[in-house]
Structure 1
């Protein structure tokens, strides 16, 4: 599910900003952007996120601004001297002004500015990072929960729609039983005509096979059971995205069987409408944690 969280604050000698963003995904994928020197904390920080979240592409960034640190400046003298020498040679060869030292100092890697940081300050930064990430996670969970309520309503609506199609299919099949019996009798007559020596037992077997092939009541009963299971999951409130996704696969399996068995145009139309509604529901379900 989608969501956003931001927490910020200030300590005695540094300030911070944690930002978390979440977008829909079927699995959990966490990416963090941390300040230089904090890479060793990435596993622990990801663990905090994984404990609270089970689905979604999560992107987190931590920004630190240190206000009271000293700085240690280092200049790469050997490389700088080589650059100056090359600059003078080029200047003499092409009769152009020699570049000044300021230009060389602006080249990346010539001057290195390193923040001076005590062990105590490093520990304080790590503690704050963990503590504030937990706040950001809680904020993100609330943000995702708001979207979850809307998704819940959408899924309930799809279940109601699917249940309506099941009722329509049941009504169609109940009115078609007479037609089915007539078809079976014609089939029996054709079998007797083709092979008058067929035994009653063989005829009964053929009738049973035809009845099973044409009857969709078993599929409709299973769909109704899956509807009840889905509603029960929605009432539980625990992470249910993967469970609902599995039920959608079962819904689709039964709908496909109904369409393949159907020899009635109205029932086929209901089956196709049923499949379309299931597909729409599954799109929503894949965004649920």
Structure 2
């Protein structure tokens, strides 16, 4: 069963005076691209979170967001001396570098300094939930996210299965119309040959027959129909019923489908067969759009 690259899950967890809002979503992508938006003080969790995502996903553009809201009313506020010293040192470096270039620098605003990340903390911030708790919350979020992608995958499976059935039906129709075209073409060629031979005795029947045979070979679509019916359509069904990521292989297979349909149309020489080839191309284009979402 195929999985979709499109998925979404969100959950809120309230405990210890904080509300943690998790959001995980993805859209289609060529490979696996991950964007993590975490509070600064939880940057240490980025590596284990990425490892979990890599283990669970193969493709898609994935965005994980964690927002933490706190009720800090009545809680003690602590000044982090080391963070303050680092902030002041950075500001002093900027001041000296600017003055060396002859650029005036306004004195720093103490309020802005205190609001710099890490300078002022509350008791809730200093304690916070343990990493194991946060990772367990993420694991539950990831399960819901994977279920969302699987549900999208089931819908994709139904759509792609119907489209493969349409390709199968149109390929059979192309075979029938190609055979009918061959019969009618033979009748037309025989009539033209009789007319030419009757009009001029200089025509070499053997040479004319050879030229007509060459034209027949150039317009033969048997190989294209055989590859569609005997190789590409069964391969598409196998991919659809297989396990694991198949999106890249599906995308390559759609290129092969498109190549066969283009060749069939260019070699057709018959209105009915050309229409079938165009119908094939329409279904192939619709199918390619769906395949872009397959993991």
Global fold match (TM > 0.5): yes
Counterpart in 2 of 1:126?
A: 131
- Separation (CA, whole Å) in 2 of partners of 1:39 and 1:230: 43
1:37 alignment partner in structure 2: 41
**What aligned pairs does 1:11-90 form with structure 2 within 5 A after superposition?**
16-64=20-68, 71-72=78-79
8 Å CA contact retained: 1:188, 1:203: no
Q: Which residue of 2 aligns with 1:230?
A: 236
1:136-186 per-residue CA deviation (whole Å, 9 max, x = no partner) reads 222101011111111111111111111111111111111122233356665
Separation in 1 of the partners of 2:114 and 2:47? 29
Other-structure match for 1:149: 154
CA contact (8 A) 1:245 1:286 kept: yes
On the 8 A contact 1:2/1:21 being kept in 2, the answer is yes
Unaligned runs of 5+ in 2: 90-108
SS at match of 1:257: helix
Task: Output the CA distance in 2 between the equivalents of 1:116 and 1:26.
Answer: 43
SS of the aligned residue for 2:51 comes to helix
TM-score (norm 1): 0.75
Equivalence for 1:273: 279
Equivalent-residue separation in structure 2 for 1:187 and 1:274 (angstroms): 34
What is the aligned partner in structure 1 of residue 218 from structure 2? 213
On the 8 A contact 2:34/2:61 being kept in 1, the answer is yes
Structure-2 change in CA distance of 1:13 and 1:280 (3 Å): same
| Moved segments of 4+, more than 6 Å | 66-69, 187-195, 202-205
Which sits farther off after the overlay, 231-240 or 147-156? 231-240
Offset, 1:236: 1.6
* Superposition pairs of residues 238-277 of structure 1, within 5 angstroms: 238-277=244-283
Question: Could you tell me how far apart the structure 2 residues matched to 1:115 and 1:190 are?
Answer: 99
Residue equivalent to 1:139: 144
SS in 2 for 1:176: helix
Q: Higher relative contact order at CA 8 Å, sep ≥6: structure 1 or structure 2?
A: 2
Which stretch of the first structure deviates more once superposed, 158-167 or 44-53? 44-53
1:162 to 147, 163, 167: 167
Corresponding residue SS for 1:38? helix
* TM-score with structure 2 setting the length: 0.73
RMSD: 3.8
Does the 8 Å contact 2:29/2:61 carry over to 1?
yes
Q: CA deviation at 1:218?
A: 1.0
Q: CA deviation at 1:105?
A: 4.6
Paired residue for 1:283, among 256, 264, 289?
289
